[in-house]
Every structure is written in structure tokens, then in C-alpha cells.
Amino acid sequence: MDLIALAPARPSALWTDRYKLLMAEAGFAIRPERFVLSFRRGGPTYVPLDLAAWVQALRPTPPTAAELDWVATENGLPMGPGYRHALQKGELEVSSAPAGSWVAQHEPLCVVSGPSALVSTVEATLIGTTAFLLQVATLGKKAVMGLLSREDLQRRLGRVSCDQEREIVGTVLESVGAPAVKIQVESEAYQESVAARAHTLVQQVEGGRIAEGGLRSATCPEQHRLAVEAAAQGGIRATSNVQLARELGLRAVGTTGHEHCQRHFSDLAAFEAAADRIPGDVTLLLDTYDTLSSGIPRALEVMERWRGRTLSARPDNESTQERDVRAMVQGMAERGLDGGIALSGGFDAERTARFEALRRELGRPAHSFSYLYGSHLVRTHIPELPTRSDASAVFKLCESAGRPTMKLSSLAGGAPGPKSSKPGRPTIFRAQVLDGSRPPSLIGQHGETPPAGYAPLQARELSAAELQVLAQGSQDSARTTSLVKRCLSERAASIQAQG
């Protein structure tokens, strides 16, 4: 079976999150950059297709003049010549794990290179659909290996939320030689579940302060369209999906992202670029390098320079989010600033109630807190079906203008946190014997010589015992370790220079 045919028909470049357009306008649209796709959870993943060809098939269609005019008029984003050139003329280069191989969590499934705006835009169609396809393939391959029963395969994949999911499941299972499952499409039930969750949130948070932001969590374009339509029926009038905002008469919303700070190599430079180039309420993401010592003080600095204009801050580290909100609000109060707080990341009704209580405790007006809901809104009503969250799939900037960069989101003491990404041009060195006597894999760098006992990843069948060894996870190679240390050193120097 030709799995590349499952790729959505060349999507419009507007089928992306608004923050991608914002960052292209406030960044370096034609700068050569590399992004790495990886799964942070879920154990070893089976790759059933040519990922390089798959990524090329997902390349977006350049925006039309009418689309660009709408983006400028309705979103305050007059996309410049660099963005238009990147989407029209830019080339994509992809290195990937070979078809027929197994990839452990945190290892690079593929590295995509090209002009910044083009590679960044690809994420919207790449991440959720690819995660779902590979998760289905992994379940099917495990069934072939006897590690998953036919009954469990039916339970996991026998109910789906849309026709496009059904096509993916059926085609992928056939391609890996797995038993066929009887698939039931439950689109109406899916939309009812999304609309009900949206209605609950609308009743909970007054004033239209909530938006749908689950494009990257959707399993396919059809699922996200169904989700946004249902969220609108439930009363939500804003989405991060620019194309659906245009089609459905909704407001397009978005913040800056980690890649924006990474390509500027400085929170301050990134925040200044966004505030200086983008009109309206720009939201500054705080946790790329270190929230307390860099993100918050630099955001306050930019807010103070733009005193009289409303800017917002987004504390995104879920484990420290309450602490970070308190610190940001205290900093604004001490300076007499009237900024906003934008919240996302794992938010559902219960978490929203907690932070609304915190808002009231801090004496902040309702309009100053806004919420973006991703997986909570778009997740299927079928708990057994794989989701992007199950794999914690991410697409992260790893090199900008030839310079390695990484999201750090550091722990206490400055060590990279669990959501940190790999810098440079990562690749996989697999142990030639998977018997547990050595780390099963090393995350190396393109051009690095593998150490003795390791070789570049190749396609081959693995036994159940070898899969168990691979599930132990990878370590960084000497070159990757060196690049991580370099990024940590550069971050420390940047924070010190900024005061």
C-alpha cells in the first residue's frame, strides 16, 4: 500500500496556527533552519513508510493574494516578501529514520531543513497526522509480532471519530500485514462531545476569554475541522487555525512560541522583535530558557518600554505554572503595568477553575486572564484511540542559521528539563547488539562517527526482547553532549548580559 497517498491534499499555508504567521513576521522568514520531529513518550515506534517523502507530500500551498489580504486586514499581520518567498520558492530537505525501522522515544524520527517560515508552517499538518499514523502502525506491527492480540487491536482501533481516521487505520494496518479490524465511524458522537466540553468552558469562563488551539493535537485535518465546528457550536468564537477562522467567521489567536526565542537566541531580543513588529496584544512565551531568571524579567522589561499598550505573558511550564503566574503578576503590579496572562498547556475545566480562583486571589480583572485549550477540546470521545498526547509528539527548532539551538525549560540548577529538545542535526546510532549490555541507542549528530559497537540506524526486524531493551531509551553521543553544554553556556551568558 502507498501510505504517502494518505497525506492530506496540499493544504493551504493558512492551515496553520496563527502564531506561526506572527513568528514569521517577527523573525527571519528565509533563514535556513532545521526542525526535529520526535516522540517524548510511548516507547519504541515503528516507521512503516518513507518519512522524507511523507514530509514532502505535506508541503503547504503558498497563500493566495486574497488570503494574505485577509491575514493583514483581520489579523494585523502584513506578511512580508520573505514569508511569501519562503512559501513559494523555498525547498525542503528531509533526513529520516528508514522505513521498516524502530525509533525510541526522544530519538529523531526526521529532521526537516529549509527556509524558516516554510519548515515552521509544515508542523501544522505534520505533527498530529504523523503521530497518529505511526501509532497505528506500531499497534499493527505489535499485533503481527504477537505482542498485541487481535481483540486488543480491535478495541484500540475499531472506533474512530471521522472518515479520514478510518482510512488511515485501514490502510496502515494492511500495509504492515496486521489483521483487519471492523471500523465504526462516530463523527456525530465526536462533535457532540467536543461541543459539550466547549459549552462547559464557556459557562465557566465569562467574557469570551477562551479559544480552541488543538490543531497540532488533531489526528488529521478532518478531525480538526469537526472539532472547531463543534467548539463554535458550543460557544467558543476563537481558534488558532487561521484557515478555519477565515472560513467559519471566528477570531484567529496565537502567542509567540519557543522557536521564536530560539532563533533570536535571547528572550529579550525575541520579545522586542514581536512587540516592535506586531500591533495589538502580543503574548510573550516565558519558559524557553528559564522562566524566573530570563522569561519574566525580560517580558516585564518589554512591557515597561511599551507602557500604555497591553501585552500579555504566557507561563507554559505546567509543573511551575502557578508559581510563574504569581511571579509575573507581582512583577507587573510592582511596575504599575496592566498586562495580561495567557494560559494553555493541559487546561481542562478543573484546571481552569483553579486558575480562575488564583486570578481572583491576586485581584486581577477577568479580562486579564485568557485560556487556550488544545488536546482537552479536540481529543476524541474514544479513550482507546491513540492521540498525539500519548506520544507527546513535538517538532522543535534544532538549528538556526547553522547555529545549534534547543528549548531548555530548565530544572532547578539549570539542567535541561524533561521537555528540552535536541540541538544541531540529530541522528540515531543504534547498538549493533541489543542485549542490554550497553545503551541501546545514542542520539548523535550528522557527520559524527559512531563509537565502537554502534552504527547509523537501519531498517531491521526486532524481537520482543530487543524491543524491551530499546524501550530503555537513548543517551546523547559525545557530540550531542557537547552541543547541549554549548547551548547551556550560551544561555547563561545571554542571561548575564541582559542583567
Mean pLDDT of 411-419: 67
Burial readout 338-364 (b: 16 or more C-beta within 10 A, e: otherwise): ebbbbbbbebeeebbeebbebbeebeb
Q: What was the pLDDT predicted at 451?
A: 97
Q: What is the mean pLDDT of residues 315-339?
A: 94
**pTM of this structure:** 0.95
Q: Is the pLDDT of residue 377 over 60?
A: yes
Q: What is the pLDDT of residue 116?
A: 98
Give the max Cα distance, the chain.
64
Tell me if 246 sits within 8 A of 67, measured CB to CB.
yes
With a cut of 90, say whether residue 148 has pLDDT above it: yes
- Three cell numbers, residue 396: 522543535
The string of pLDDT tens digits covering residues 95-141 is 999 999 999 999 999 999 999 999 999 999 999 999 999 999 999 99
> Which pLDDT value is given to residue 497?
75
**DSSP code, position 292:** I
Q: In the prediction, which pLDDT does 412 show? A: 54
34 half-sphere exposure, CB direction, 13 A CA radius: 25
The pLDDT value given to residue 366:
94
Q: How far is CA 265 from CA 286, 400, 403, in A?
A: 13, 9, 10
Quick: pLDDT tens for 16-39.
999 999 999 999 999 999 999 999
159-194 pLDDT, tens digit per residue, is 999 999 999 999 999 999 999 999 999 999 999 999
